[in-house]
Amino acid sequence: MSWAARLLVVVIGLTPAIGVAQDEDPSDGAAAGSGESATESESEAETAAESEAESEPESEPESESESESESESEAEAESAGGTPALVPPGGVPPIPGVREPRPVQAPEPEPPPEPIPLPRYSLELRLGVSFPGDFSFDQALAALRYDGVRAAPSVVVGVQVPVLDWLWLGGRLGARGRGWAHPDRDPATLAAGELLATAQARVWLGRVVELGVLVAGGLGWMQVAVRDAATDQAVGRFSLEAILAFKTGPHFAFGPRVGYDFFEWSGVNAYGHGVDVGGFSLGLALEGRE
Amino acid sequence: MSSRRAVWLGVAVLLAMIACDPRTFPDRAYHEEFETLCEGTPCGWEISRGEPGQATWITSLHPGEHALRLTGDVTVRGPGAGPDATDVLQSTGAIGHVASRCDPGSRLQVTVLVVDRAGIPTRTTFEVPSGDWSELALGLSFDNPIVDARVTAIVIEKTGVGSCDVAEIVLDQGGVDDIGC
């Protein structure tokens, strides 16, 4: 046998001894030095894992705190020198019938609603129509072949100032009129104006819809013109109105109005006839607020 | 109905609306409003029976409207239609309108005197009910048949207590359902 063949036989013969020497890590000197204690801790951990695996299917689903404490104990065991071989790569596989713990996010509390800003004042333009009653002056004019229209268009401008969250005070200036057509001559006309003090109670239904009630009282003025003559009179005036308003922005609102207007003139002539330019009223109001 | 027929029908209705003036209907044969004064009294009116204070000119419903007030037992006679009146009355279709009021217990009677195309005079008389201002509209029935008759005079007789105010007398020829074109 040549010297090369003898060397190959020696190398082959020494290879297992070199592998055993390499398996013993010199950094684990303590563990290597206490080989029995390490083996004991491994066997204890295996026993605990087995007991947990046996007890889990019978027990109730774990709570989040229990799972957290379990993971913490595992981490402590690892830091205390436990072998990571107890947890397979990729974590512990899900156990059938046990709910996976989910991260819980507490709902964010809704911010408190911002208070509806109260404007300093509100300007109002109201277009409407009232339906006067059939009074004795209407009947007398009908005897003279005047044909009255039982509707009185009106226009009102007003201003209101909030004195409380729900109470507005202000005033109104308005005009309205009606007529009686005649087949042979110019129609008879009634023109009226009004100056009223107003009080409104308003509530907000959300941030868009408002409901309210308006009470108004003051003075009215009527003028009845027939042919080329006119006569006029100051009269008392009263209104009650329901308000529905829709806010269309920070400065505007509009909505319908329904109410009753007391606007009568008793004693238009020597016969004591009365005439009306009020009655049940409908309107549409536009408000500008600042 | 085809669309072309509908278009022509619409055009015809529009032409009729333009051509037919409802204000020309009915034919006006007589109209007294008591709005013009001649020497303090309604022009052409005179007292046939009673004292001057029993027939007065007053403001009625409004300063723009006036009337003849008759108090107590009094009879007044007014002018006819005048030579400029173009419309005439016939035996049928003549309608009278009176706007008046009377106190309870009063009685108001109106007589219309006419002369027809042949020059034959005739008349019709009707009574106005008492009460507040109202319009009386009734068909006129003349004592004799007339053709193209013109109003020559109006006589108003007031009897009973209280007063009556007469604001307007209108005599028309034609039915209310007619359309003047």
What are the tens digits of pLDDT across the range B117-155?
A: 888 999 999 999 888 998 888 899 899 888 889 999 999
Assign B19 a pLDDT band (cuts: 50, 70, 90).
low
Please report whether residue A206 resides in a domain: yes
pLDDT at B117: 87
Nearest to B80 by CA among B111, B126, B107: B111
A vs B: CB pairs below 8 A: 65
Within chain B, residue ranges assigned H as helices are 3-19
Q: How far is CA A274 from CA A138, A233, A264, in A?
A: 8, 12, 7
SS3 for A172-189 is EEEEEEEEEECCCCCCEE
Report the first-to-last Cα separation within chain B, whole angstroms.
27
What's the structural domain count of chain A? 2
CATH superfamily ID and name for B25-173: Galactose-binding domain-like (2.60.120.260)
Among chain B residues, the shortest Cα distance to A223 is held by: B62
pLDDT at A28: 45
CA–CA dist A229, A231 (Å, integer): 7
User: CA dihedral defined by B66, B72, B75, B78, rounded to 10 degrees?
Assistant: 0
Q: What is the mean pLDDT of chain B?
A: 86
CA–CA dist A272, B36 (Å, integer): 25
Q: Are residues A199 and A254 in the same domain?
A: yes
Domain boundaries defined on chain B: 25-173
Please tell me if residue B167 touches chain A, with a CB cutoff of 8 Å.
yes
Please report whether residue A35 resides in a domain: no
pLDDT at B74: 96
Q: Are residues A170 and A77 in the same domain?
A: no
Q: Are residues A180 and A72 in the same domain?
A: no
Nearest to A77 by CA among A48, A56, A35: A48
Q: Identify whether the C-beta of residue A216 lies closer than 8 Å to the C-beta of residue A172.
A: yes
CA–CA dist A171, A97 (Å, integer): 75
For tokens 């005179």, the residue is B46
Among chain A residues, the shortest Cα distance to B169 is held by: A144
What does each of the 290 residues of chain A score in pLDDT, given as a tens digit?
455 556 566 556 555 555 444 544 444 444 444 444 444 444 454 544 444 444 444 444 444 444 444 545 554 544 444 455 566 676 767 677 777 767 777 778 887 777 667 889 999 999 999 999 999 999 999 999 999 889 999 999 999 999 998 999 999 999 999 999 998 889 999 999 999 999 999 998 888 999 999 999 999 999 999 998 999 999 999 999 999 999 998 899 999 999 999 999 999 999 999 999 999 999 999 999 98
| b/e map B6-21, b = 16+ CB within 10 Å | eeeeeeeeeeeeeeee
CA–CA dist A236, A105 (Å, integer): 67
Q: Are residues A156 and A206 in the same domain?
A: yes
User: CA dihedral defined by A214, A217, A218, A222, rounded to 10 degrees?
Assistant: 90
pLDDT (average), residues B174-179: 55
Q: Is the peptide bond before A103 cis (omega within 30 degrees of 0)?
A: no
pLDDT at A194: 98
For tokens 């723009």, the residue is B64
Q: Are residues A78 and A217 in the same domain?
A: no
Half-sphere exposure of A154 (CA within 13 A, CB side): 30
Partner residue facing A227 (CB), from B31, B64, B133: B64
Q: Give, in degrees to the nearest 5, the angle at Cα B87 between B141 and B174.
A: 50
**Over 50: is that where the pLDDT of B96 sits?**
yes
pLDDT at A87: 66
Contacts with A226 from chain B: Cβ below 8 Å: 61-65
Residues 6+ apart with CB under 8 A from A229: B62, B63, B64
- Inspect the interface and report whether the beta carbons of B64 and A228 lie closer than 8 Å: yes
- Inspect the interface and report whether the beta carbons of B168 and A144 lie closer than 8 Å: yes
Please tell me if residue B55 touches chain A, with a CB cutoff of 8 Å.
no
- Strand ranges (E), chain A: 122-131, 147-148, 152-162, 167-181, 188-205, 209-226, 229-247, 252-262, 264-266, 274-276, 279-289
CA–CA dist A178, A201 (Å, integer): 31
**How high is the ipTM of this complex?**
0.80
Partner residue facing B134 (CB), from A143, A183, A231: A143
Which pair of structure tokens corresponds to residue B15? 């032409």
DSSP B20: -
- Residue A226 is part of a domain; what is its CATH number? 2.40.160.20
At residue A53, what are phi and psi to the nearest 5 degrees? -65, -30
Q: Which one-letter amino acid corresponds to residue A162?
A: P
CA–CA dist A38, A24 (Å, integer): 14
CA B14 to chain A, closest CA, distance in angstroms equals: 22
Q: Are residues A248 and A143 in the same domain?
A: yes
Please report whether residue A255 resides in a domain: yes
pLDDT at B18: 63
Please report whether residue A101 resides in a domain: no
CA–CA dist A201, A213 (Å, integer): 5
Please tell me if residue B124 touches chain A, with a CB cutoff of 8 Å.
no
Please tell me if residue B101 touches chain A, with a CB cutoff of 8 Å.
yes
Contacts with A230 from chain B: Cβ below 8 Å: 63-64
- Other beta carbons within 10 angstroms of residue B138's beta carbon come to 13
pLDDT at B41: 85
- Inspect the interface and report whether the beta carbons of A226 and B134 lie closer than 8 Å: no
Please tell me if residue B134 touches chain A, with a CB cutoff of 8 Å.
yes
- Inspect the interface and report whether the beta carbons of A268 and B97 lie closer than 8 Å: no
CA–CA dist B53, A182 (Å, integer): 32
DSSP A62: P
Domain that holds residue A72: 40-49+65-91
- Strand ranges (E), chain B: 27-32, 37-38, 41-42, 46-49, 55-59, 66-71, 74-78, 94-102, 106-115, 121-128, 131-139, 150-160, 163-173
Q: Are residues A85 and A135 in the same domain?
A: no
